[in-house]
Chains A and B, each alone.
Chain A
């Protein structure tokens, strides 16, 4: 009897240790979320708990949240290896500004997005660069005073740089022409994948988090997908939903962070499940 009990207890303890390790490992990860600022829905990209980029506008058919997810994925890829302060820089892209880490474009800043922030593309790219540097623990480099049309982040601005994200309002903007906006949208389409790649074959086992009425279960799920996406998966959330009175739905969401927010990793799905009951209610 004792021997029969030992095996599930040891397995449960092992799974709990794995869950704790996964949660600790993901504490300083990149995430994104929907938020409300100034009465408008925006999407935030965070490093750890700190919002570093706020996306306010749709572009190339992508909603702010979808754009934030793309940006978060690029940041995660860039942060896979150590980033030096000089690696994070603003530069130009066709019809706009871009924020780069090393030679990889993280986010493009076009006129409509800058206008929504009350800044110019260059100022906004600079502010986002500073936010990323601060989140990574670097000092923000002091630069020569920017021209009037490109305000630097200021203390006491409408949205403070400490919270994240916005450039000081009041810059004089040059309205973008239709041709420029079209070019911007075309460049965005080129820069961001139009369709999620579901055809990858990388696999890994990650913890499942679920809570049921009958008790708590911990388990593992095998997820599969493209290598880049699989690398981002930290766990799988199981959501239990009731469909009318006919059936019970268990939805599995591969996530990039262990938090109450579901940061789904697209292009990844579940192939196998294993769990063990650790607590009965």
Chain B
């Protein structure tokens, strides 16, 4: 009985979500939802490990950046979701303020262009607030 109620509840919430999406004209898919949620989970789970991995991999090649580093999620401007992660580098006080990197991407034929803006907010709404004195040293794509 309890299991049946749980299934019914989950189904109701899912239907309600899909209904709201349809009413608002959101172009979402189950794949997008899983990907955005999965990326957020992976970033929160592995941020320190990825940061150490990149730093040590570059250190082995004597190419590590001198400065504070941190791994934060990449937000797609327009898409509004997490699409990957980035390692940012800079002075410690500036890096500590970075919450995300906003990505603006365009494609042209077989080419592509990406602008990566470290920001102090974790929402991709409006104009991104660029974090001064911080840049991107690595981009991480997750296999989801």
List chain A positions with a Cβ less than 8 A from chain B.
Answer: 4, 7-8, 11, 34, 65, 195-196, 198-199, 223-225, 237, 239, 241, 243, 245-253, 255, 262, 264, 266-277
Contacts and interface: CB of A to CB of B under 8 A. Distances in A.
Interface of B: 42, 46, 49-50, 53-54, 57-58, 61-67, 84-85, 87-91, 94, 109-117, 132-143
Contact of B89 (A11, A198, A199): A198
21 contacts: A7-B109, A198-B94, A199-B132, A239-B61, A243-B53, A246-B42, A247-B140, A249-B57, A249-B140, A250-B138, A251-B57, A253-B58, A264-B62, A267-B66, A267-B67, A269-B65, A269-B136, A271-B116, A271-B135, A273-B114, A275-B112
Contact of B111 (A8, A224, A247): A8
A137 to B, nearest CB: 29
Which 5 pairs, one residue from A and one from B, show the smallest C-beta to C-beta distance? A269-B135, A276-B111, A262-B63, A199-B133, A274-B113
Nearest to B57: A241
Secondary structure type dominating chain A contacts:
strand
Contacts of B139: 249-250, 252
A271 B112 CA distance: 15
A34 B116 CA distance: 32
Given A264-B63, A264-B65, A266-B66, A273 B135 contact: no
A65 B63 CA distance: 11
